[in-house]
Structure 1
Amino acid sequence: MIDFSLSFFAVALPAVLFAGISKGGFGSGAAFAASTILALVLEPGAALGLMLPLLMVMDAAGMRAYWRRWSPVDARRLVLGALPGVGLGALFYAAVSADGVRLLIGAISVGFVLWQWALKAGLKFGARPMGAAGGITAGVVAGFSSFVSHAGGPPAAVYLLTRPLEKTAFQGTTVLVFTVINALKMLPYGFLGIFTLNSLLADVILAPVAVLGTWIGVRLHYMVSKETFFALTYVLLLATGGKLIFDALT
């Protein structure tokens, strides 16, 4: 149950704005930070249910900005893999406790930061572009992680960063892929009781913030480097992901 208090909005407003900026301009790789942050003040299921409609609003806003500026081949591979990935995510969510979901969200958040640091330290991958098998595999992981934590961006990016795509085609492909994946999640979220009237009311209130964040992200896409944006993301994910792991284990 979401309590429409000042403390809730103090967390939710910047979290949703940040997610919109990420999805609008930086490949969705950091958008899942909003779910991680919200899971500090809400049950994990409530955080996921709150964010999905807002992510879909951001997808719709981003589609207009990047219409037909995607790679059809790469999008198709990721979506094909995402179909079974979403199904696996639904099975996992139904089988574990709230603390299990909280632990996974925290682990994905911290793991994302460690992976990025490993790359900066010299870890090499993608010397050659991944083929169809790599794209579909990345899609499975993206579908699963997107279902349980809205964190499908990083595995999709692992594949897309090996492809010969310029920055805007990368962004356009990401927007298209997650428009489809988020739509696929709607039905199982409903069956699992993740949506509530309470969370949908919060979505109505926060939807303008989601649109504003996406609008800002589209403009920052051409003005700010990914390195600058993700530096802030790493701090947020380490702090919030670490706290979720601690809460789940204790």
Structure 2
Amino acid sequence: MITDPLFYVAAVPAVALAGLSKGGFGGAFGFAAVPLMALVISPVQAAGLMLPILLVMDVVAVAAYRRRFDRAIVIRLLPAGLFGTFLGWLTASVVPEDAVRIVVGTIALAFLARLWLFEHWRRRAAPSAEGFSTAKRPSFLSAQVWGTLAGYTSFVAHAGGPPYQTYVVPLRLDPVMYAGSSAIFFAILNAVKVVPYAALGQFGTETLATAAVLAPLAVVSTFVGVRIVTVIDERAFYRILVWSILAVAVKLIWDGVAGLV
């Protein structure tokens, strides 16, 4: 088990945020987990450590939504998602760890840019909401592009939510169907990731023991998220999170570039 106290300074809030995300705060909270841990350990090791924890959460999510998801969406996105997972494995197995730090930091910046653009679009669209009352069906090409990006970012940083949402949100699914489709899609990707992560040597005794210690925190945080989602000032919390992710992203890119130079 990892015993460095500095690791747990980053890992405890990272896993707690992942749990809060599963509990109802949305993907932005969970996204911070791998970049935070990548400040103190290898980004590949950070992603490998988070995977068993996510698999535990997936068991609960699949049990809850196994009969309430859009099968067509999952089938449409899954082949591209698997291809993206393969590309992510190639990245992690071929390029140096410092390059992976740059990739994770860049993904974090892209995620923040998407948040800003989405918020900007939402504000502009609000006055004419009736113009968005009907679902827009994305094209086949769109499914391949966003599915591949979802698989790639999911493998590298467990951050497949933004590309997935870019494809699915225009479909205007019922909230339960949206949550169920997300749960099933990413549960399958996470299960598939076990083999390439094992091939990368990320499931050693130290990693699995550390994941076992942190897993209860993730479960508790999930239930806490369910309880407090309706009472906490989510807007203020998101502001803090966004600035934190920005700082982490810049630090990862800086460290990666310094390591390569």
Match of 1:92 in 2: 91
> Does 132-141 or 185-194 show the bigger shift?
132-141
Alpha-carbon distance, 1:210 to partner: 1.4
Give the residue type in structure 2 aligned to 1:134: S
What is the distance in 1 between the residues matched to 2:16 and 2:150? 22
Match of 1:23 in 2: 22
Alpha-carbon distance, 1:129 to partner: 2.7
Give the residue type in structure 1 aligned to 2:10: V
Match of 2:7 in 1: 8
Alpha-carbon distance, 1:42 to partner: 0.8
What is the distance in 2 between the residues matched to 1:225 and 1:175? 26
Structure 1 position 160 matched with structure 2 position 165:
no
Whether the aligned pair in 2 keeps the contact of 1:129 and 1:164 (CA below 8 Å) is: no
Structure 1 position 244 matched with structure 2 position 252:
yes
What is the distance in 1 between the residues matched to 2:51 and 2:2? 18
Match of 1:140 in 2: 148
What is the distance in 1 between the residues matched to 2:145 and 2:205? 35
Match of 1:47 in 2: 46
Q: TM-score by structure 2 length?
A: 0.86
Whether the aligned pair in 2 keeps the contact of 1:28 and 1:153 (CA below 8 Å) is: yes
Structure 1 position 188 matched with structure 2 position 196:
yes
What is the distance in 2 between the residues matched to 1:221 and 1:63? 21
Gaps of 5+ in 2: 126-131
Seen in structure 2, the aligned counterparts of structure 1 residues 233 and 9 have a Cα distance that, compared at 3 Å, is same
Alpha-carbon distance, 1:117 to partner: 0.9
> Does 230-239 or 142-151 show the bigger shift?
230-239
What is the distance in 2 between the residues matched to 1:132 and 1:29? 27
Alpha-carbon distance, 1:24 to partner: 3.2
Query: What do residues 53-90 of structure 1 show as CA deviations (whole Å, max 9, x unaligned)?
Result: 11111212223343422222112222221111111111
Alpha-carbon distance, 1:199 to partner: 0.6
Q: Within 5 Å, which residues of 2 pair with 1:58-73?
A: 58-73=57-72
> Does 65-74 or 156-165 show the bigger shift?
65-74
Whether the aligned pair in 2 keeps the contact of 1:22 and 1:28 (CA below 8 Å) is: yes
Alpha-carbon distance, 1:128 to partner: 2.7
Per residue, is there more helix in 1 or in 2?
2
Whether the aligned pair in 2 keeps the contact of 1:24 and 1:58 (CA below 8 Å) is: no
Give the residue type in structure 2 aligned to 1:239: A
Aligned to 1:121, what secondary structure does the other structure show?
helix
Structure 1 position 216 matched with structure 2 position 224:
yes
Match of 1:77 in 2: 76
Match of 1:115 in 2: 114
Gaps of 5+ in 1: none
Q: Which runs of 4+ in 1 moved over 6 A?
A: 123-127, 222-226
Identity of aligned residues (%): 37
Seen in structure 2, the aligned counterparts of structure 1 residues 29 and 180 have a Cα distance that, compared at 3 Å, is farther
Structure 1 position 203 matched with structure 2 position 203:
no
Q: RMSD of the alignment, in Å?
A: 2.5
Match of 1:173 in 2: 181
Query: What do residues 6-45 of structure 1 show as CA deviations (whole Å, max 9, x unaligned)?
Result: 3322221121011111133244354231000000011112
Match of 1:130 in 2: 138
